[in-house]
Amino acid sequence: MTQQLILYPLLLQLLLSILLMFFWYRINAQRIISILGSILHLGLTIYVFSFIWNNGIQTLQAGSWEAPFGITFVADSLSITLVLLTAIAGLAVSIFSASSMIPDRLKFGYFPIFHFLLLGLNGAFLTGDIFNLYVWFEIIIISSFVLITLGGEKAQLEGAVKYFTLNFLASMIFLTAIAVLYGLTGSLNMADLAIKVAEVENRALVQITAVLFLIGFGIKAAVFPLYFWLPASYHTPPSAVSAIFGGLLTKVGVYALIRVFSLIFVGDAFLDEMLIVIAILTLFSGGVGALIQNNIKKVFSYLIICHIGYMILGLGMFTEVAIAGTIFYLIHDIIVKTNLFMVSGLIYRIKGSSSMRALGGFYSDYPKLSLLIFIPLFSLVGIPPLSGFWPKISLITASFNTESYWGLAAIIFASFITLVVIAKLWAEVFWKNPGEIRERFKFDYFHKMGKYRKLGFVAPIVFLSFVSLYIGFGAENIQILSSRVAQELMDNQLYIDAVFNNAQNPE
């Protein structure tokens, strides 16, 4: 049974989604199933994580079709770490949506689709087959389309049109890249591709394919010239949806980039240079974009773009230290970004507005909550010893080692600009005297809610803040984890051996 272990998180999410569909109109049952299921999922994932930590990379050949002919599922440290983070973020958002989503939206199948989205995320992280990755991507974007349009407000639909078009385009470019890759090598298994792509003589075509992958995943990860759909759409849906989008969806693009450029297209100086340039421009444009926004959700959207730059930069430098920095940043970023969008939802519920100009006086009204919100906000900036600080050390060291001083400048610039943005946000929302906000009629204000609903708003934020604090104060453990992931990624032979040896002598 242990061999199948890596599929259990995936199967559990599918089961939850199916189960929730049977309770389509019974909202309370859905809330309970979703929260309990997410807790179970978290427990299961922790168990699988510790199993892989102790026993190394695990693979599974679905349907007993041996690699490279069948679909292989591979759980190396990177995959399982991301699955674990998905489970943590998923639990928090599940609790948050149970109390923050209005019943009208829940009646249209919010929870089943939410778990379908998590299923897609788990699948994308675990699969070892490039076409299967495409299928999981489609599952993710179809669920996210439904989630982003749920409710059908004007801004939501407009955002959804932009989100849909660009993501569809990204999928088509990804599909084109797969087609060319299949034409070149005749294989779809990622480990097999890693071997065969290295042997292809037509390097120009390989490079073009790599660039197609870069564009396809780049749109999804929202890197520099391809990010415009993100700030146009992420602030439109309810905060619970924004939270899962902001925390995890762009990170799937980053994961795919890391996977493809550390396994299949390795050691191409041109591509690495290109990644670094893109990363620098992303850091710059995201930061500047965040500076001029007024809506707090839009500020966070631009900060997502800005911080994607850090991860791409680490990938571009491609040394062990740099990759470790990237992975550490990924871990930190998923937790913090999910948390921040929930925070923005909480602020909106309390004050009835997301505009920084109108907001104010939050600290004098809710001092304890403000201190709680302080944790994710300043983790994002990376005030030591909070979690955002540590990966930057690795990234800065790596950029010294590889002598990419532009990258170094961009890291420091982006950290500085994040600090300015967050400080501005803190001053405007928490310290300034409140502006004029019209009391909204028929609005579901936070202070009018019952005790349990309030708890549902605050508990996930507390939970993720604690995780953030752990990442900050237990940085040593996370560093060990990310170094191990980096080691596995730098040596792609480990991955290839795991896929093929297991196929030859199954236990």
Partner 1 sequence: MEILFAIIIGVLYAAGIYMILRRSLVKLIIGIILLGNGANLLIFLLGRITEGAPPIIPEESKVFLEAYADPVPQALILTAIVISFGLQSFAIILVKRAHKVVKTDDLDEMNATDEDS
Partner 2 sequence: MKTLILKTASIYLLPVLLVFSVFILLRGHYLPGGGFVGGLIAAIAFVLHAFANGLSESKNLLKIHPGFLMPLGLALAFLSGVAPVIVDDPFMTGLWFPDPFPVIGNVGSALFFDIGVYLVVVGVTLTIIFTISESA
Write out the H or E segment, with its range, that includes residue 60.
strand 58-61
- SS3 state of residue 203: helix
Nearest to partner 2 of 1, 269 (CB atom): 1
427 binds partner 1 (CB under 8 A): no
Q: Which of residues 175-234 bind partner 1 (CB under 8 A)?
A: 175-176, 178-180, 182-183, 188, 232-233
Question: What angle, rounded to 10 degrees, do the helices at 250-263 and 475-490 form?
Answer: 50
188, 284, 289 from 279: Cα distances, Å: 28, 9, 15
291 binds partner 1 (CB under 8 A): no
Residues 6 or more apart whose Cβ sits within 8 Å of residue 448: none
Q: Which of residues 52-111 bind partner 1 (CB under 8 A)?
A: none
Of 83-91, 136-144, 302-310, 412-420, which part binds partner 1 (CB under 8 A)? 136-144
Q: Are 190 and 130 contacting, i.e. CB atoms less than 8 angstroms apart?
A: yes
152 binds partner 1 (CB under 8 A): yes
- SS3 state of residue 189: strand
Q: Are 21 and 49 contacting, i.e. CB atoms less than 8 angstroms apart?
A: no
Residues 6 or more apart whose Cβ sits within 8 Å of residue 237: 147, 148, 150, 151, 156, 159, 245
CB of 178: closest distance to partner 1 in angstroms?
8
Of 107-115, 118-126, 149-157, 429-437, which part binds partner 1 (CB under 8 A)? 149-157
Q: Are 339 and 461 contacting, i.e. CB atoms less than 8 angstroms apart?
A: yes
172 binds partner 1 (CB under 8 A): yes
By CB under 8 A, name the binding residues for partner 2.
1, 3-4, 7, 11, 14-15, 17-18, 21-22, 24, 60-64, 112
CB of 71: closest distance to partner 2 in angstroms?
9
CB of 8: closest distance to partner 2 in angstroms?
9
Give Cα 284 distance to the centre of its chain: 20
Of 168-176, 195-203, 264-272, 454-462, which part binds partner 1 (CB under 8 A)? 168-176
d(CA 250, CA 264): 21
Nearest to partner 2 of 4, 28 (CB atom): 4
- SS3 state of residue 129: strand
CB of 310: closest distance to partner 2 in angstroms?
36
Q: Total number of residues binding partner 1 (CB under 8 A)?
A: 40
d(CA 498, CA 360): 55
Nearest to partner 2 of 60, 258 (CB atom): 60
Nearest to partner 1 of 295, 319 (CB atom): 295
Nearest to partner 1 of 138, 365 (CB atom): 138
Nearest to partner 1 of 231, 407 (CB atom): 231
d(CA 51, CA 29): 33
d(CA 481, CA 93): 25
Q: Are 171 and 145 contacting, i.e. CB atoms less than 8 angstroms apart?
A: no
d(CA 195, CA 297): 44
20, 196, 483, 493 from 184: Cα distances, Å: 43, 9, 33, 21
CB of 109: closest distance to partner 2 in angstroms?
9
Interaction partner, residue 295 (partner 1, partner 2, none; CB < 5-8 Å by kind) = partner 1
Interaction partner, residue 402 (partner 1, partner 2, none; CB < 5-8 Å by kind) = none
Of 44-52, 145-153, 376-384, 491-499, which part binds partner 1 (CB under 8 A)? 145-153
CB of 112: closest distance to partner 2 in angstroms?
8
Among 164, 374, 463, 470, binds partner 1 (CB under 8 A): 164
Of 154-162, 386-394, 420-428, 481-489, which part binds partner 1 (CB under 8 A)? 154-162
159 binds partner 1 (CB under 8 A): yes
Nearest to partner 2 of 20, 422 (CB atom): 20
419 binds partner 1 (CB under 8 A): no
Residues 6 or more apart whose Cβ sits within 8 Å of residue 307: 286, 329, 333, 337, 380, 414, 418
Alpha helices, DSSP H, located in 318-383 = 320-351, 362-365, 367-381
Question: What angle, rounded to 10 degrees, do the helices at 27-55 and 110-126 form?
Answer: 10
Interaction partner, residue 317 (partner 1, partner 2, none; CB < 5-8 Å by kind) = none
Interaction partner, residue 108 (partner 1, partner 2, none; CB < 5-8 Å by kind) = none
CB of 285: closest distance to partner 2 in angstroms?
39
Strands (E), 94-232: none
Binding site for partner 1 (CB under 8 A): 131, 135, 138, 141-142, 145-146, 149, 152-155, 157-162, 164-165, 168-169, 171-172, 175-176, 178-180, 182-183, 188, 232-233, 235-236, 294-295, 354-355
